[in-house]
């Protein structure tokens, strides 16, 4: 690890501890040349996820887009940003644990609906109405009936 003060390439680790709920490791280091201390973070290198859109195009998975979609569905509802970030964490973790590096928007949408249903039913219906592109009131009512029968 290169020292940020003198650029010497050798340092020793003085202290290591988990950070960000175990997602990273924080290390305090001391440069062997100038003796100054600095902090580094070690994170897991994740394989990039590619999202296959409905039109067949592909783009990188974007956590911000995922959260923004849920925020729109939860507008004026008693759902906190922390809850939505936790859902995004769960979904991203689940996607990373799969062996496939490509995932369809349909799969992601289903995952969001499964999680958001447990948090707020109105937000679930809002998200489902956009995601499933309800064509008329009958398909909307079918989804509401299904939601009520699951209770």
pLDDT reported for residue 151: 64
- What's the pTM? 0.64
pLDDT reported for residue 130: 80
Strand partners, 104: 52
In contact, 74 and 130? CB cutoff 8 Å = no
35 torsion bin: left (phi>0), alpha (psi -120 to 50), beta (else): left
Residues of the chain with pLDDT under 70: 135, 151
d(CA 26, CA 93): 21
């Amino acid at each position: 690890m290169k020292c940020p003060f003198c650029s010497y390439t050798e340092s020793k680790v003085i202290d290591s501890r988990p950070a960000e709920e175990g997602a990273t490791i924080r290390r305090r280091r001391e440069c062997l040349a100038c003796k100054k201390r600095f902090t580094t973070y070690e994170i897991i290198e994740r394989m990039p996820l590619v999202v296959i859109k409905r039109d067949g195009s592909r783009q990188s998975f974007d956590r911000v887009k995922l959260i923004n979609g849920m925020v729109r569905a939860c507008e004026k509802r008693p759902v906190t940003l922390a809850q939505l970030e936790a859902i995004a964490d769960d979904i991203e973790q689940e996607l990373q644990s799969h062996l496939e590096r490509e995932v369809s928007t349909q799969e992601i949408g289903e995952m969001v609906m499964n999680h958001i249903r447990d948090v707020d039913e109105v937000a679930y219906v809002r998200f489902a109405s956009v995601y499933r592109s309800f064509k008329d009131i009958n398909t909307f009512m079918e989804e509401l009936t299904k939601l009520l029968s699951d209770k």
